[in-house]
Structures are given as structure tokens and as C-alpha cells.
Structure 1
Amino acid sequence: MTAEEESNSESFVSHLIELRTRLIRAVGAILGIFIILFLYPGPSFLYDVLAQPMLATLPTGTRMIATGVITPFMVPVKVALLTAFVLALPIVLYQAWAFVAPGLYKHEQKLALPLIFSGTVLFLLGMAFCYFVVFKTVFEFIAGFAPQSITPAPDIEAYVSFVITMFMAFGITFEVPVAVVLLVKSGIVSVQKLRSARGYVVVGAFVIAAIVTPPDVISQFMLAVPLCVLYEVGLLVASRMKPSEREKEADDE
């Protein structure tokens, strides 16, 4: 083995060790927060908070049901783990940034931290918008169509799966401004080209909304419209930032 090959091998091993360290710290942060939440306020309390939008639309005295044997235990634990991940998200993203930071230029490092911070805040805002606005509107709309001859009693496992899907959909949707800024700053595409693609974005937004949301017009509309608005916000932010050399090359092309 030549000296160059040996150096490359040592560099690869050092990267693997660094990756393992960052993963352990990220997972450790999630597990640490999970243990705290498990002890107080407890998984049951967290699930009750998550279930409030649905419970508020059910008939008085009606509760949700659990059809599985261990479902009453596993579902609240899953909710606690999801909450721990959300709370640990800034730490997880920081560990990801710390791993790739040595390979970035100084101007890219200065851009990375604001993007991590804004990405975290936007993801949490997307979840909050889904919880406080979308769930209330959608569940009331669905409850209004329920026949008087039936008593709705949703299964808690199906409800949590639905909630996680919606949280992910709205959280990722609210990341659109960050994605637009990254595309522009990396020189992959210019602001002018993104502006000219508005029509495709609008169509794509409603197609995505139709796939990931329930089959009702309200929830699809409430996902597609914010996506389009946030796309425009991303264009506005990207157009006001100082252009990099890659952006200038993209504009020339």
C-alpha cells in the first residue's frame, strides 16, 4: 500500500469515527429527552394532548378506541418518542452540520447555521399550523358529514398514523423557502427560472396535496396554498440575498 493510499484509508476511517460520534450524540439527545418525557409528564398525557383536536369533534361522552392488545401502551410511547425527536431536532441538525462543516467553504458555513435554524423553526411552524388550524377544520368538516345513525369512535393507532403523516407533510411543506434558497445559492437554478416555473409549482402543489392528505377538498387546499405562498417567500428571500459566483454562472447559462 502506497503512502497516498494509506493516507486516504486513515482519512476514511476518521470520517467513519466522526460520523459514529455524531450519530451517537444525536440518538443520545433523542433518548435523553424521551426518558424525561416518559417520566414526566408521561406518554399518556402527551397522547391526550395530541388527541384533543379529534376529541373536540366527537359526540359528548364518546372516546377513541384501541383494538390491539398492547396498543394502549405502544401508541402513547410512540407519541412520546415522536415528541422527543421534535424537541431534539435542533441538536440532530447541528450534529449533521458539524459533520459536514469541515468540507464547506467559509461562506457556506456562514449560510449553513441560519438555514438549520430557519429550517427547524419552519418545520415546527408547519406542525403547529397543522395541529391548531388544519386538524380543527378537517375534523369538524368530516364530523359534519357523519350520519346521525352512527357514533364515530376512531382507533388510536390509525389516528396517530394519520397525525404523523400530516405532521410530516406540513412540516416538509414549510421547508420550501429553505429548499428554494439552497437551490439558488448552490447555483443549481436561478431565481428567474424558478419564477418562470410558478405554473408547474402550483399544479405540483395540488397534486402532492391530493396524494398526502385525506380525500377532502379542505385539507388539500390547506396544504397546497401554503406551499405556493412559501414558494414565493423563498423566491423573495433568495432574490434579496447577495449572489454567489455559482448563481452568476447559473444566470449566465
Structure 2
Amino acid sequence: MSRNAFNKDEHMVATRKVSLNERAFDTLRSDIIACQLEPGATISEAWLAEHYAFGKAAIRHALARLTQQGLTINQGRMGYSVTPITIKSIRDSYHARYLVEPELCRMAASRLDAETLAALRECCAATFDRHNSAEMIAYSHANHRFHCLIAQLAGNQRLARLIEELSDDHMRIAYVSMVYGQSEKQWSDDHTHITDALEAGQGERAAQLMAEHLVQGEKAIMRAVLELPELLETSLHSA
């Protein structure tokens, strides 16, 4: 076999492996966001590999990334657990966002470019059907992207990484909120008004709207999770 042929085969194997790793990560992440893998559930590599029909290597890779994002917890020999949703974790997360995101809006207003504006408008246009799980997950991604775009636009990479981490965790509780009453119109309207202020260069106005948006979001999510007390308790899954 020629060196070129060998390198080509090696590249194809690596590509398939990356694709499988990505599929495993995306699948597990979507099921955590949709609470199909319940908050607090104990899970193992063996159970996940059998349940999802992925190899253990792909599952291991997915769990490492999910743990890095704060969606799972490595418990050593006991396996992994899905990070629980707690009242304290929701309040702590929102407290951090209140302190940071309005200021990021102030910073972003003077830096908005046409490409980012178009991306923000695209996020604002997202909708979902409460009876369609895939659409709600896609909407969660759009909401996540909206907040991350503003953080990145502000130009402080450390704060942008913090918001990405916080927003990542919010995708799951936002999904629960969508199922139990939060409307896409409320989110879309809030996002549109924030984007309008950014486009007009009105940093203070954008900051005020972001603060109000976060307050309303926390209230909606708290109402939703309090209607589902089982999501706030640690439960066992197949290990």
C-alpha cells in the first residue's frame, strides 16, 4: 500500500471516529436538555453504550465533554450522574447573569456589525411547537446562541466563556420552562427589543432590557420547576 493510500485510510478512520463521537455527544446532550436523562440520575458508560448503541469509546468521549460543560458529574468508580437541578443552582446562575449580561450589552452596542446583527435577528425569529421536542431543543439552541453572540460581541473572552457555560446549563431548565408555559413570543419579543437597542447603539437601553429579560426568565423557570418537584430531587437511573 502506498503512503498516500495509507494516509487516506487513516484519515477516513479518524473522520468516522470524530463523527461517531459528535453523534454520541449531541444525542446525550439533547436527552439531558429534554430531561429524558433525568436530573440527578446515575448513569454508567456500559448502560449508555447499550441503550444508545454507541461504542464505549464514543460514550466516554461524550461524557468527558458533558462533564466539562457541567451537565454531568464524574463520580469515579460509581460512574456518572446527570447534574441535578436545584433551586439554589438556578438562583446562583441567574445572579451571575444579572451581574454580567447587562454590562455585556452596554459593551456590545458600540461593536455591532452586520454579520452579528443578522445572526441575532435569526435567533429572534426562532419559534417552537410545545408538542414537538426537537423544535424545543432547536429553540433552546437559538436562545443559547443569542446570549453567546452578545457576549462574544462585547469583546471580553473570559466573560464570553462564562456566559457560554451559564447559558449551556440554562438550555435544560429553559426546555422545562417551555413545556410548562413559557411562550416563544415572550422570548422572541424580548430578544427583538434587545437587538433593536443594540442596532441603535443604545447600550443603556439594551442593558435595561436584558436585565428585565433575565428577571422574567427566572420567574418563568421557577414556576415551571416548582410544578415539577421530581426534577429537583436526585433519582436513580439504570447503572
Determine if the TM-score, normalized by the shorter chain, exceeds 0.5: no
Structure scoring higher RCO (CA < 8 A, sep ≥ 6) equals 2
What TM-score does the superposition give when structure 1 sets the normalisation length? 0.25
Structure that is richer in helix per residue: 1
Bigger radius of gyration, 1 or 2?
Answer: 1
What TM-score does the superposition give when structure 2 sets the normalisation length? 0.26
